């Protein structure tokens, strides 16, 4: 048995239809057996050699360093170290957090959460040791993960599980000196969000990030 931090990860069913994902971590010290994720689980693709496209021109100059850093980090092909930690959630599918370091400096954290009806990938990017950019990708499946052609026929349905038919929502969160300065949502028209919303999102993301930092230090 290996002792790790046990996370309860709650994914709201409305997260795929709302402006932001309702993901929450509750931390409890507990002994669990670290097990591998199912090998047949379909995964959302990570960002690789990808540029972030400017949308709102009024913040272009301020966001340039954040976007350059995002491109720099997601283009790295060799890391000094990569550490994985299991994260247990409400779903039996579980999840994992992966910590990427270059010369003992943490550069990126990827968190995957799996469920029967969907999955999420959240990428955290650091700049000069501070949170810089958070890219949240949420997929809601058209049918349950194990709903195959046989199940479709038995239920007189017209579709079986098809990852390519997932509903997709993406959030791009930009941080400057520890403050959330801009949010882009793929389902939104692109208008700036209210100050209260920005404060709530900053609190949500920062709390999750800090808990991940603690998890990264667990032996």
Q: How confident is the model at residue 6 (pLDDT cuts 50, 70, 90)?
A: very low
Which tokens sit at 198? 């920005």
Please say if the pLDDT value at position 20 is more than 50: no
Return d(Cα 43, Cα 168) in angstroms, integer: 13
Predicted confidence at residue 57, as pLDDT, reads 65
pLDDT tens by residue, 38-96 = 334 588 999 999 999 776 666 888 899 999 999 999 999 999 999 999 886 555 568 89
Predicted confidence at residue 15, as pLDDT, reads 40
Please say if the pLDDT value at position 218 is more than 60: yes
E strands, the chain, where?
2-11, 23-32, 81-87, 95-102, 105-114, 118-127, 130-140, 167-176, 179-185
Return d(Cα 193, Cα 189) in angstroms, integer: 10
Burial label, 107 (beta-carbon count in 10 A; 0-12, 13-18, 19+): buried
Please say if the pLDDT value at position 37 is more than 50: no
Please say if the pLDDT value at position 216 is more than 50: yes
Whether the Cβ atoms of residue 35 and residue 48 lie closer than 8 Å to each other: no
pTM exceeds cut of 0.85: no
pLDDT tens by residue, 85-144 = 988 655 556 889 999 999 989 999 999 998 889 999 999 999 999 999 999 999 999 999
Which tokens sit at 140? 């809601």
Q: How confident is the model at residue 190 (pLDDT cuts 50, 70, 90)?
A: low
């Amino acid at each position: 048995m290996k002792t790790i931090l046990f996370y309860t990860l709650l994914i709201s069913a409305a997260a795929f239809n709302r402006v932001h994902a309702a993901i929450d971590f509750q931390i409890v010290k507990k002994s669990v057996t670290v097990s591998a994720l199912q090998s047949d689980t379909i995964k959302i693709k990570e960002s690789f050699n990808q540029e972030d496209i400017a949308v709102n021109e009024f913040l272009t100059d301020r966001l340039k360093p954040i976007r350059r850093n995002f491109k720099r980090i997601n283009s790295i092909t060799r890391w000094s170290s990569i550490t994985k930690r299991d994260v247990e959630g409400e779903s039996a599918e579980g999840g994992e957090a992966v910590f990427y370091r270059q010369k003992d400096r943490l550069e990126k954290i990827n968190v995957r959460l799996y469920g029967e009806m969907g999955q999420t990938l959240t990428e955290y990017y650091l700049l000069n040791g501070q949170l810089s950019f958070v890219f949240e990708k949420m997929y809601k499946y058209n049918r349950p993960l194990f709903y195959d052609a046989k199940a479709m026929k038995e239920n007189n349905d017209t579709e079986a599980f098809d990852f390519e038919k997932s509903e997709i929502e993406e959030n791009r969160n930009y941080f400057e000196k520890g403050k959330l300065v801009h949010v882009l949502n793929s389902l939104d028209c692109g208008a700036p969000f209210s100050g209260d919303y920005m404060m709530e999102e900053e609190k949500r993301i920062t709390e999750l990030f800090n808990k991940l930092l603690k998890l990264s230090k667990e032996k």
